[in-house]
Amino acid sequence: MDETVGMILCGGFGKRLRPVTEKIPKPLVEIKENYTILDKQLFDFKNAGVNEVYLLAGFLHEKIEERFGNEFKGIELHYVIENEPLGTLNAIRLGMENINDKQCIIRNGDIVTDINLSKMIKEGENSDYPFSIFITQMQSPYGIVEITGDKLSSFKEKPLLNYYINGGVYFSKEPLDFGEFKTGDIEKTIFPVMAKENKIGYYKEDGLFWMAIDTNKELEAIKKEYSNKTDKPWGYEKLLIATDKYLTKELFIKENYQTSFHYHKKKDETMYILKGAGYIEFEDRKEYFDKNDIITIEPYQKHTIVARENTILHEISTPYLNDTTRVKDYYTR
């Protein structure tokens, strides 16, 4: 894998999120306590092996610099300041002038998603196209009804539709040719031109969480999503049920990632595989799993969960919430 530089578009005014964005730029909006959209995006870059990121900033950029400075969890941060807002095209053009022709992955600064960035980079590098866009399945903003003959037969609450939208994450193997375009949104200027010239491929992962934080309603929704969710280097963990008798957690492990090698002193746990495939590696063996498999792990059994595909599992265990001893970590914490 060649060195990949990250870029994040941080310069928007966030007008539809006011009054929250009157004193901070949109990327600094918190999705949980002391954890902002930008924290999440930089965390994902770090765990995808991207160690240099350019923040394409403008409005209230000094607030971002105050929070992050020139380094975040080992990531070297650079600031490209647009003194006058001229659209995403100009911001990306300025960013590309600073990265010395390196390949780059670009993110909109208001997107929260569980995308596997390292896989997108690898597929982008191997693609015949110089530029790739992450696409995600469109969710209906409304509930829909289904009809059968002359009757209304069922209701569906905001289903996924058979259409894909621009997911706001881009991979570029080489500098973009901006042609005559100087300002405006990149989606409305050079993207249509590149598409006609067969220069854009796509990357997709169906079933991922994805949300653009553009309104206060969406901000409320993302805070609800993160009320019981903790991002991990390998995916996420959600606490679903906690009683004095048992715990239920949901774990999402990205393809080709794994949890720490760890054990529990008290906790008996049973894992129900809802989606994906992989294996649990113990000290003396590997136990492979697929969808619908059930695996039991006893106390003091050292293990790591390795995902060969995006994997979602429910872990039901005895009620010891913090009973985890890590033997080996595979990522920087």
Whether 188 sits among the annotated catalytic residues: the reply is no
Half-sphere exposure for 244 (CA within 13 Å, toward CB): 0
Enumerate residues 6+ apart whose C-beta is below 8 A from 170: 105, 106, 107, 131, 132, 133, 134
**Max Cα-Cα span within the chain:** 66
Q: Which of 15, 23, 156, 158 is catalytic?
A: 158
Closest CA to 28 of 6, 50, 61: 61
Token look-up 């067969």 returns: 198
C-alpha to C-alpha distances, 251 to 45, 48, 278, nearest whole angstrom: 20, 19, 13
The angle subtended at Cα 73 by Cα 69 and Cα 79, nearest 5°, is 35
Token reading at 172: 């570029």
d(CA 56, CA 82): 7
Q: How far is CA 158 from the centre of its chain?
A: 21
| Active site (catalytic) residues | 158
